[in-house]
Chain A
């Protein structure tokens, strides 16, 4: 197992958000994390990538304990985080954004393989990232994450604000990527259907805890999943 999260507690000051979160992601596997807002999905990724310090529990990546290590070290360990709202560097060109993704590799990054995945970016290399459309920015953000040649990649709601067609495109790329590079992919999504299409396993979170785990096929039938979102549609 590549990425192992065990008994993770985390929060913001007084507010405890995550409670005893435990799950694993293997190489070549996509694990989707779904749940309504306030379930703690973004907090989970922040806690794993070191942006906030967990108060309990551990995170290991390929055997190395990375709990509470500072966020800037994670890329070097092989863990990339594609954050919520993409967070591209707006005035820097697409090329520069991608090259910065290879920061821990002292600048020698495989731009070509990223462009193969996202051919749309080829014509935009010199353009300032802030001027791109949402979908293209998402591609840049994912590409930037890949430039570090990671073992594991975490994505926080990549489908937000994107048209279904673009979402499908991105999900397809993620799926291919996972297989080709044998990445461990942790995909946080609110768009259950899109993420379940490509995920091998899924984790349903509710109020900071892992409520359910299983394969998408198992989970999508369950009324609990429906409830977690809409509350009591099927009593």
Chain B
């Protein structure tokens, strides 16, 4: 009974880690550009499908993953330079339609290149563990580990590094950031690169268990969005906590209520949060908190 609960919790935490990484990517872009990147989920699927294909063609696992992550990061930068940067006045309407267009285009490309079936990257090396009746798969360690390392790394980047602080400056006071000499173009490119990078990591690390599908990015991106909303779209930490909570709630719903209703949980949470407490889990509504 209790082991079931723990089992579900572990599954929830690992799945939530993926959502958390996506939320980080969404917030990174939004704080600098005020664009909600609807294509965020596609970054994950692209990396997953790409690395699955590379490993199937014979490339060693870690090299394939590296190449995939790098490629998707470049795709994200290309999206910023070739498409987002070209619009002079980005209103919520135009930015939604634009990123929706990119999302649709990426989905179609993935469908044409890799077909309609789901594909998975081989399981990462490691052994499954059994603790007190609860089995934790090694891949789930990898997923949670990815959040800790990559997600944590990004948070540290924003807190300690020169460019991280510059990005926060751009988000908090865009005018002063320019005056001080921070190039808005460089900041925008960096933000998208981060989004591409974390999205790719999330996609690659989740692929062995949850598989990558050409159309899977929409749902995944949406879950990331729910987590970002829980973070008030400003706080990485709150978004990560929210993502883990979301993952766990989904796992409980799937386990105790019905697996088909699993995805519904995210949307109900979304609508509840938007209506009742739009700033999410953020306690003190300050300008920008990373």
The reply to whether A and B meet directly (CB within 8 Å) is yes
User: A-side interface residues toward B, CB under 8 Å?
Assistant: 49, 51, 70-76, 80-81, 83, 87-92, 96, 99-101, 103-104, 107, 130, 144, 148
Q: How near does chain A come to B290, taking the closest CB pair, in angstroms?
A: 7
* CB–CB A103/B172 < 8 A: no
Report if A100-B166 is in contact (Cβ < 8 Å); known contacts: A83-B175, A87-B173, A91-B290.
Answer: yes
* CB–CB A91/B172 < 8 A: yes
Give Cα A80–Cα B176 distance, bound, in whole angstroms.
11
Q: Which 4 residue pairs spanning A and B have beta carbons closest together?
A: A75-B181, A87-B176, A104-B181, A103-B181
Report if A107-B172 is in contact (Cβ < 8 Å); known contacts: A72-B183, A83-B179, A91-B287.
Answer: no
Which residues of A sit under 8 angstroms from B165, Cβ to Cβ? 89, 92, 96, 99-100
List 16 A-B residue pairs with CB atoms under 8 Å apart, sorted by A's residue number.
Answer: A51-B175, A51-B178, A70-B178, A72-B178, A72-B179, A72-B181, A83-B175, A87-B176, A87-B179, A91-B286, A92-B165, A99-B165, A100-B177, A107-B162, A148-B180, A148-B181
User: B-side interface residues toward A, CB under 8 Å?
Assistant: 162, 165-166, 168-169, 172-173, 175-184, 286-290
Give Cα A80–Cα B179 distance, bound, in whole angstroms.
7
Give Cα A204–Cα B229 distance, bound, in whole angstroms.
50
* CB–CB A103/B286 < 8 A: no
* CB–CB A100/B178 < 8 A: no
Report if A90-B181 is in contact (Cβ < 8 Å); known contacts: A100-B166, A100-B169.
Answer: no
Which residues of B sit under 8 angstroms from A144, Cβ to Cβ? 180
Residue from A73, A76, A90 in contact with B286 in the complex, judged by beta carbons closer than 8 Å: A90
Which residues of B sit under 8 angstroms from A51, Cβ to Cβ? 175, 178-179
* CB–CB B179/A92 < 8 A: no
Give Cα A101–Cα B169 distance, bound, in whole angstroms.
11
A71, A83, A104: residue with the most chain B Cβ atoms closer than 10 Å: A71
Which residue of chain A is the closest to B289 with respect to CB atoms?
A: A91
Q: How near does chain A come to B185, taking the closest CB pair, in angstroms?
A: 9
* CB–CB B172/A73 < 8 A: no
A51, A89, A104, A148: residue with the most chain B Cβ atoms closer than 10 Å: A89
Which residues of A sit under 8 angstroms from B179, Cβ to Cβ? 49, 51, 71-72, 74-75, 80-81, 83, 87
Give Cα A107–Cα B184 distance, bound, in whole angstroms.
18
Which residues of A sit under 8 angstroms from B169, Cβ to Cβ? 89, 92, 100
* CB–CB A103/B175 < 8 A: no
* CB–CB B181/A91 < 8 A: no
Which residue of chain B is the closest to A147 with respect to CB atoms?
A: B180
